[in-house]
Amino acid sequence: MKLIIIIILFVINIACSSLPHVIKPVDNDKVKLNGDIFVVNHGWHTGIVIPSNLIFQRMPGLKERFAGTTYLEFGWGDKEFYQSKEITSGITLAAIFWPTESVLHVVAVPKKADKYFANSHVKKICIDESGYASLLRFIESSFFKNNSGEIVKLKKGIYGDSQFYRSVGDFYLMNTCNKWTAKALKSSGKDIRPFFKLTASSIMSYITDNNKKSDELTCY
């Protein structure tokens, strides 16, 4: 029994400290709002879509790769599983039960997400200016940067005009792609609890409930 408790506490400790870390919004850290924010449910995986121009200002490497697109979708996940052309049980089990390297999947989205991802479940969310600023910082902090401060390209992405990049943090059972989305929402000022958001359905349910309580926030 004691061993089980120790294991549980160990897992919780790892989960709470896993990269990338949530960025706390700061009142004097604001940006000019200029677009819609969307969360896309692709079935088992969620991604977040933001206007490209402000992240381009922070990350010239993304601007160089995706210049001309209006929005970008960001998704985080296991390096081997996410980039694999053929998913095997070995890859799946390793991704779930053993800490593995992570990647970011970045996709050019030429129009609003609810139009571009017509066959996926898409939810719009509203955030304030300080929340937007910390969301941008969270996304930037999710990228691994080399000694020259540059982001690192990997394989071509899996749909549309897309690209994989090396990320920070390890993927495992308690640090999933959906938890990354939850951390992004937490960074944007939402009261979501990332520890409990490990599935796509839990993310979308939270957004539905939150939107009902956010009438006082004007979407930009």
In a domain, 6, yes or no: no
In a domain, 25, yes or no: no
In a domain, 16, yes or no: no
In a domain, 38, yes or no: yes
Tokens for 186?
């937490």
In a domain, 151, yes or no: yes
In a domain, 17, yes or no: no
In a domain, 176, yes or no: yes
pTM of the model: 0.84
In a domain, 24, yes or no: no
Domain coverage including residue 93: 33-212
Confidence (pLDDT) at 14: 47
Q: How many domains does the chain have?
A: 1
Q: What is the pLDDT along the chain (220 residues), one digit of tens a residue?
A: 544 433 443 444 444 447 899 998 887 788 877 677 999 999 888 999 999 998 999 999 999 999 999 999 999 988 765 555 444 444 444 444 456 789 999 999 999 999 999 989 999 998 999 999 999 999 999 999 999 999 999 999 999 999 999 999 988 877 888 999 999 999 999 999 998 788 999 999 999 987 776 554 556 5
